[in-house]
Amino acid sequence: MLSKSGDHQTVPLSVLLKRELANEKIERPEITHGQASQSKKGEDLTFIKTECQRVLGDGVTTYSVFALFDGHNGSAAAIYSKENLLNNVLNAIPQDLNSEEWVAALPRALVAGFVKTDKDFQERARTSGTTVTFVMIEGWVLTVASVGDSRGVLESAEGAIYYLSADHRLECSEEERERITASGGEVGRLNTGGGTEIGPLRCWPGGLCLSRSIGDMDVGEYIVPVPHVKQVKLSSTGGRLIVSSDGVWDAISAETAFECCRGMPPDAAASQIVKEAVQVKGLRDDTTCIVVDILPPEKHDPPKVPPKKQGKRGIKSMFRKKSSESTSLPEKEEHVEIDTVEEMFEEGSAFLSERLDSKYPVCNMFKLFVCAVCQAEIKPGEGISIHSGTTDLKKLRPWDGPFLCTSCQVKKDAMEGKRASRGSRYSSGSD
């Protein structure tokens, strides 16, 4: 009942959100999931948390998290990341944001959360490392952050395939190889003597074949924890997401993975994908798979065989970048597309000054006296601008935020090869 003119009645934010979402509830997807694994070393870990509440107690502002950690040189980094990464990401998101602002804040918060997790773990002086593929689903929006060579792949209900993560193997990116050598690392294959080189490209010291991970302090801090982040919005027809370790992707393609589990519920689908991968190459590595079905409400059947397959050229063209520019096409034609997955955000730079810049589309994201990475309070005058030391004249404004505390600035400089990293201090004992 509306109050009379002149009367003022305070309505709690949770109530307003509940009212706002009541009309949209039918549009929110149903999410079901399953996972399976065959273990060789016991270094693959998963983290699944559904129906997380953005606003505590309201029951409607929910999101889900699905993550895979593929450890190497022990499971310590994977365990630590599983236990701490989500909290570090959430702590980097400003309070009192509405749903749209919260989703827009995720890419920057994921970068801060990954770097803080890596920094805190390395302070424990352990040499283990881990890949991470970290998925957050809010409504129809998927935000995927990744370091390493585990992958997240989406198939829409119409059969188009979208690669949501980046592969950070040194073999895959000349840009990453150049970044590492420019920062003081060496890239090359294993030398067996007599000039014979075998195996994949690796970073030395340490011999890691990845350019990004969490942990690995014995290799060098030019192996950075800064994730590739991609954010997409599904159409209301939904789709199926597969997140797997390299034990799967080294054996089968994404097309094979989706095809072999067609029509199966998520649990059975995950088991079938793992089985298919092990049949191809045997159990040479930990082989883990998470399957997530994102379905229209009341539709609990897994995706069926699509009426028409998309070729690789079609796969890429199905992405529609979000744009604020107007279009001359009539709105009617917008719905002619069989399937549209809207690409809302994508960034893969390894440099914090580019990933934590204030250009991100949320106002008041960076508190003046709080570190943009670890969220520690900074005394006035002690904060160091993320742009400090830049050679880009357009960004040569050291009084501009965001700001870092001293220890996070040291971390940033080490990752960019501007000072000795932890790895170089310990390299003589890691052989």
pLDDT per residue as tens digits for the range 29-75: 999 999 999 999 999 999 999 988 887 665 567 899 999 999 999 99
Mean pLDDT (whole number) for 117-124: 93
Count Cα atoms within 13 angstroms, Cβ side, for 340: 10
Mean pLDDT (whole number) for 75-92: 96
* pLDDT tens-digit readout, 88-113: 999 999 888 888 899 999 999 999 99
Q: Give the Å distances, CA to CA, from 428 to 68, 201, 218.
A: 31, 21, 9
pLDDT given at position 333: 38
State how far the Cα of 375 lies from the Cα of 181, in Å rounded to an integer.
31
pLDDT given at position 59: 59
- Please work out, in degrees rounded to the nearest 5, the angle formed at the alpha carbon of residue 365 by the alpha carbons of 120 and 163: 70
Lowest mean pLDDT among 3-17, 19-33, 111-125, 353-367: 3-17
State how far the Cα of 387 lies from the Cα of 402, in Å rounded to an integer.
8
**What share of residues in the chain are helix, strand, coil (percent, to 5)?**
30, 25, 45
Cβ contacts of residue 370 below 8 Å, gap of 6+? 376, 377, 378, 403
Q: Give the Å distances, CA to CA, from 203 to 73, 173, 313.
A: 15, 13, 33
pLDDT given at position 429: 33
State how far the Cα of 384 lies from the Cα of 388, in Å rounded to an integer.
7
Q: Which residue has the higher pLDDT, 69 or 424?
A: 69
Mean pLDDT (whole number) for 141-160: 96
pLDDT given at position 161: 96
Give DSSP secondary structure letters for 389-413.
Answer: T---GGG--TTSS-EE-HHHHHHHH
The conformation of residue 25, written as its DSSP 8-state character, comes to G
pLDDT given at position 430: 33
pLDDT given at position 269: 98
**Predicted confidence band at 130 (pLDDT cuts at 50, 70, 90)?**
very high
Q: Is the pLDDT of residue 10 over 70?
A: no
Give DSSP secondary structure letters for 66-135.
Answer: EEEEEEESSSHHHHHHHHHHHHHHHHTSPSS--HHHHHHHHHHHHHHHHHHHHHHHHTTT---EEEEEEE
**Predicted confidence band at 418 (pLDDT cuts at 50, 70, 90)?**
confident
pLDDT given at position 366: 52
Q: Which residue has the higher pLDDT, 402 or 13?
A: 402
State how far the Cα of 426 lies from the Cα of 26, in Å rounded to an integer.
55
pLDDT given at position 16: 47
* pLDDT tens-digit readout, 225-277: 999 999 999 988 999 999 999 999 999 999 999 999 999 999 999 999 999 99
Highest mean pLDDT among 174-183, 332-341, 354-363: 174-183
Comparing CA positions, the residue from 84, 149, 157 lying closest to residue 123 is 84
pLDDT given at position 353: 86
State how far the Cα of 373 lies from the Cα of 406, in Å rounded to an integer.
11
The SS3 of residue 31 is strand
Alpha-carbon radius of gyration of the chain: 23
Average pLDDT, the chain: 81
Residue 294 phi, psi (nearest 5) = -110, 105
- Please work out, in degrees rounded to the nearest 5, the angle formed at the alpha carbon of residue 62 by the alpha carbons of 92 and 58: 100
**Predicted confidence band at 316 (pLDDT cuts at 50, 70, 90)?**
very low
> Cα–chain-centroid distance for residue 27?
25
**Predicted confidence band at 328 (pLDDT cuts at 50, 70, 90)?**
very low
Q: Which long-range contacts (CB under 8 A, 24 or more apart) does 97-101 make?
A: 97/362, 99/54, 99/61, 99/138, 99/139, 101/362
pLDDT given at position 134: 98
pLDDT given at position 361: 44
Tokens of 367: 């508190």
pLDDT given at position 362: 43
Q: Give the Å distances, CA to CA, from 358 to 128, 145, 241.
A: 33, 19, 31
Mean pLDDT (whole number) for 404-408: 92
Across the beta sheet with 161-163, what order do the strands follow?
A: 30-38, 287-295, 239-244, 151-156, 161-163
**Predicted confidence band at 76 (pLDDT cuts at 50, 70, 90)?**
very high
Tokens 């589990």 belong to: 261
Give DSSP secondary structure letters for 167-191.
Answer: --BGGG-HHHHHHHHHTT-EEEEEE
State how far the Cα of 403 lies from the Cα of 308, in Å rounded to an integer.
50
Give yes or no for a contact between 418 and 406, defined as CB atoms under 8 angstroms apart: no
Tokens 């059969």 belong to: 159
Q: Is the pLDDT of residue 322 over 80?
A: no
Lowest mean pLDDT among 11-15, 187-191, 299-303, 395-399: 11-15
* pLDDT tens-digit readout, 343-400: 999 999 999 988 987 554 444 455 567 899 999 988 877 888 887 776 655 555 556 6
Tokens of 106: 């995720």
pLDDT given at position 138: 95
Tokens of 193: 């003597």
Tokens of 275: 């089985």
Q: Is the pLDDT of residue 193 over 50?
A: yes
